[in-house]
Each structure stands twice: as C-alpha cells, then as structure tokens.
C-alpha cells in the first residue's frame, strides 16, 4: 500500500514538473511572437530574445532561487543593442542612456536590499535581483520603470498572500519564507518593453 502511494506521489510530482516546464516555454513562445508583432524588424527580434531570456531567468529563479549572471549579461547586452539600433538619441548616446538607466535602477534595488536587511535582519532582495534590475533599466524608458516595479511587486504580493491563505489551512507560513522576486520582475521587464512598443505607429499599422 505504501509503495503504491509513493508511486502515485512520484507520478503526480512528475506531472506537475512537466506542466511547469510546458507552461514556462509556452509563455516564452507566446511572448516571442507578441514581440515580433509589436515591433516588426530588428526591434522585434531583440524583443523576442528578451522574452526568451526573461522566461529562462524566471524559471531558474522559481526552481533554484538564483538568477544566473550569464542570463543577466545576455539581457543587458541585448538591451544595449536595442538602444543603439532604435534609440532616437543615436547609436552612441542611446546605449549610454541605457547604461545610465540600468545603473539608476540597480542603485534603487541595492538601497532597498540593504534597507530591508537593516530593518528586518534578514535578506529580502537578492544580489541577482539587483543585477536583473540593471538589465531591465537598459530596456525600459524612465516612464515605464515605475510601472514595471509596481507590476512585479503586486504580482509577488498576490502570490505570497495566496500562499499564506492556502498554507494556514495546513501549516503556518514562516515569516522567513523566501519568494523568488526574479520570477515576477523578469516577465514584468519584458511586459514593460512590450507596452512601450504597442504605442509605436508600426504596431498600429500592423493591427489595421
């Protein structure tokens, strides 16, 4: 009986893992397609690359609570290419402005990280989140950055409260439970870029 129960549990865990993977990569393909529609041409290709990288970051952070430097660097490099090719400021100033936005957003997250640690005596944001913020700043306009932070924070808060409501039926949710913020920030960065490009005249012409 116990052996049969163990096999059922293993099978259900395997199915959940498969659905987890399929869900992530289906989202990546949909986001990539949406990127090409919202911004036809080079911008769309770069946006599709951003979608794939952000999906990979969210998947890894959800499973392992880490954000690999290689993926962050890839996102940052793509952001600089995007700025150089599409920014009205030009091929030289565009990437410089992108770097400035990335540094500003990373500094904000760094201050939040240190402030939370000082107030609560434990970690909140990880260093990977700070680096991811720098990559996001390279892609986002100044006006889009606050909205992206708000979307990511609200999504994380919703998931945390939902987990709390479910968990309290069986066991208390520890105050030190870790939530992978990169899981929410990464897709929010792509979504912010997508919204920026939805207002582009070429997108409106495609819709017509």
Alpha helices in the chain (DSSP H): 2-38, 42-64, 69-86, 93-120, 127-139, 145-167, 182-198, 201-207
Query: How does the average pLDDT of the chain come out, rounded?
Result: 84
Residue 91 has pLDDT above 90, yes or no: no
Mean pLDDT on 79-92: 87
Residue 71 has pLDDT above 60, yes or no: yes
* pLDDT above 60: residue 206: no
User: Each residue of 49-65: pLDDT tens digit?
Assistant: 999 999 999 999 998 99
pLDDT band per the 50, 70, 90 thresholds, residue 135: very high
**Tally of CB atoms within 10 A around 112:** 16
CB atoms near residue 174 (< 10 Å): 8
Alpha carbon separation from 169 to 1, 12, 159, 165, 174 (Å, rounded): 27, 21, 16, 7, 13
Confidence of residue 174 (pLDDT cuts 50, 70, 90): low
Tokens standing for residue 153: 């924070």
Whose tokens are 């402030």? That residue is 115
pLDDT of res. 179:
80
Judge whether residue 204 has pLDDT over 50: no
Cα angle 72-76-80, degrees, rounded to a multiple of 5:
170
pLDDT at position 36 is: 94
Q: Which of 207, 190, 113 is nearest to 144 (CA)?
A: 190
Domain ranges, ordered by start, for the chain: 2-207
Q: Residue 167's pLDDT is what?
A: 63
| pLDDT reading at 147 higher than 70 | yes
SS (HEC) of 150-162: HHHHHHHHHHHHH
Task: Give the pLDDT score at 79.
Answer: 96
Distances (CA, A) of 121 to 109, 115, 176: 17, 10, 11
Model confidence, pTM: 0.84
- E strand intervals along the chain: none
């Amino acid at each position: 009986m116990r052996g049969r129960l163990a096999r059922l549990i293993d099978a259900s865990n395997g199915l959940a893992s498969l659905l987890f993977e399929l869900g992530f990569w289906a989202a990546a393909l949909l986001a990539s397609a949406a990127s090409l529609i919202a911004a036809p041409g080079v911008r769309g290709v770069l946006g599709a690359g951003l979608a794939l990288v952000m999906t990979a970051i969210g998947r890894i952070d959800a499973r392992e609570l880490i954000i690999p430097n290689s993926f962050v660097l890839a996102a940052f490099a793509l952001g600089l290419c995007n700025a150089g090719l599409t920014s009205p400021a030009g091929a030289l100033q565009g990437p410089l402005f992108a770097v400035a936005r990335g540094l500003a957003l990373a500094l904000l997250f760094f201050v939040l990280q240190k402030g939370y640690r000082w107030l609560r005596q434990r970690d909140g944001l990880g260093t990977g989140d700070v680096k991811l913020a720098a990559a996001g700043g390279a892609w986002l306009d100044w006006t889009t950055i606050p909205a992206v932070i708000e979307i990511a924070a609200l999504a994380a808060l919703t998931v945390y409260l939902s987990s709390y409501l479910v968990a309290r039926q069986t066991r208390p949710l520890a105050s030190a439970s870790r939530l992978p913020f990169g899981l929410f920030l990464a897709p929010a960065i792509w979504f912010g870029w997508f919204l920026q490009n939805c207002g582009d005249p070429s997108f409106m012409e495609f819709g017509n």
